[in-house]
Structure 1
């Protein structure tokens, strides 16, 4: 249980995040957010006769057969999106060799995404997960609602420290009835990934934000150290002065990173990396711009 001092410190952090996120959204994020995500949802409206230039995939073959001429489905653009931020708070999320832990970077990103959504009239919700889904806050509007989300990201203590992307994806696929924009924020140190992420991307607009720390990619040369897995508790003595060991570790982590990238690319999931040694807000800005250019083509 948190002490009064810890609660006050956490709330000060939330208020600081709120001010920073609001300023960034006001100054630079709102335009990119709007062009990146607005109007992606479509509601069926009516049928009309096929016209030259219409997309073939919108032809309704049942109506076409009845009317003996091609008809297409008409859609109207949704004016409001549902944005769900899924955040991994497993044991590895509390690691950070730089100024912030991965969890704190995730909370900062969630604040910016949340205020961007609210500023454009969209609803925003939260799924906090580790080895299983821990808390789901349905999409809604309002600053108090969003501040509660940020507080939960920073304070949630999972009973089991493992990570299950599969359980999180299955929960979202079952729970979200309406097509939503889902930001999955995790280091993706989890198996399996392929089928769960594929199912999520098939039903929703999925974006992966990968949390990372520079010491996870390369071991520093610091002699013999005891390394502990934060999710299993397993400890082992490692001689980091051994160049072969460092190279093997680097290759292993590179393969893991490339494996995740391959799965995301396979299912058309946009992604960006949020490093504890980088400016997460700059990364989000670049992601929004990239998506805006893609939609403009």
Structure 2
């Protein structure tokens, strides 16, 4: 993308999403996430009513007296955006592509975080890590995140959510709020998801186009697989073909739902045709 056009698009997204984050989401973001991050402060003697889960067994064993760990609220949080930019994200049959929707949602989340003095980091992935920006504060950093979302094209040829989660877990040691944005049209990430959710407050955001759920009957079409580039003829009038397509989508969604439930992580879905502001508000208020 030409630099001038890129800067114009960054500015348009900033104007739209910065306003939304200030007018609508800042209060919801704060109530949904502030107070969830806790850091270790000290140990003290056990008192009646203390949570036994906070007992420091090492200190207790050395002193022969029960001691508990004391935690304090972390006023500054870290927000990580893990974004699937595999080639299937550059798909859309409605008013916007999936990756355009992802960019706007990421911008809203990033500006909401920075309005609350939190750091924001970015990890872009396909079947490999395409870009990693460590968490930082400030408008300039948020604008760079938007530029990378708009301008980075995948060099990988597939999607590997498990690999991205493993990389994230290894790179970000401090507990963070992690938004994982993907169409989740893959599997094999249950274990890395569970490990990441143990350490971080992890939220999966499923972004999808309505045509991904159901193939329309429009006759014989010459279709290209977005990730492999393979071309093939598809008879969309065939009920068997349409059922196979729908089953593939539904199986991926069942896997995603099961994986998130088992990990204890939250998840939500946003269709490219709906108002994502309403979907985000429902999610924030539900927390």
The normalised TM-score by structure 1 is 0.92
Displacement of 1:270: 0.7
The answer to whether structure 1 residue 145 and structure 2 residue 141 are counterparts is yes
When structure 1 is superposed on structure 2, of 21-30 and 101-110 the one drifting more is: 21-30
Displacement of 1:96: 0.7
The answer to whether structure 1 residue 158 and structure 2 residue 148 are counterparts is no
Secondary structure, counterpart of 1:135 in structure 2: strand
Instruction: Provide the residue aligned with 1:282 in structure 2.
Output: 278
Q: Report 1:162-201 matches (<5 A).
A: 162-201=158-197
Among 127, 132, 147, the alignment partner of 1:131 is: 127
Secondary structure, counterpart of 1:272 in structure 2: strand
Displacement of 1:172: 0.8
Secondary structure, counterpart of 2:27 in structure 1: helix
Among 252, 256, 277, the alignment partner of 2:252 is: 256
Whether contact under 8 Å (2:260, 2:267) holds in the other structure is: yes
Whether contact under 8 Å (1:105, 1:274) holds in the other structure is: no
Displacement of 1:106: 0.7
Secondary structure, counterpart of 2:150 in structure 1: helix
Displacement of 1:210: 1.0
Instruction: Provide the residue aligned with 1:84 in structure 2.
Output: 80
The answer to whether structure 1 residue 54 and structure 2 residue 50 are counterparts is yes
What CA distance in whole angstroms lies between the structure 1 residues aligned with 2:33 and 2:113?
9
Instruction: Provide the residue aligned with 1:12 in structure 2.
Output: 8
Whether contact under 8 Å (2:187, 2:252) holds in the other structure is: no
Among 70, 84, 96, the alignment partner of 2:92 is: 96
What CA distance in whole angstroms lies between the structure 1 residues aligned with 2:227 and 2:233?
17
**CA RMSD for the aligned pairs?**
1.5
Instruction: Provide the residue aligned with 2:31 in structure 1.
Output: 35
Displacement of 1:250: 1.6
Displacement of 1:44: 1.3
Displacement of 1:67: 3.8
When structure 1 is superposed on structure 2, of 273-282 and 74-83 the one drifting more is: 273-282
Whether contact under 8 Å (2:202, 2:265) holds in the other structure is: yes
Displacement of 1:49: 2.6
Secondary structure, counterpart of 1:157 in structure 2: coil
What CA distance in whole angstroms lies between the structure 1 residues aligned with 2:253 and 2:62?
52
Q: Could you list the runs of 5+ residues in structure 1 that have no partner in the other structure?
A: 292-297
Among 246, 250, 257, the alignment partner of 2:242 is: 246
The normalised TM-score by structure 2 is 0.95
Whether contact under 8 Å (1:85, 1:125) holds in the other structure is: yes
When structure 1 is superposed on structure 2, of 62-71 and 45-54 the one drifting more is: 62-71
Q: Could you list the runs of 5+ residues in structure 2 that have no partner in the other structure?
A: none
The answer to whether structure 1 residue 65 and structure 2 residue 64 are counterparts is no
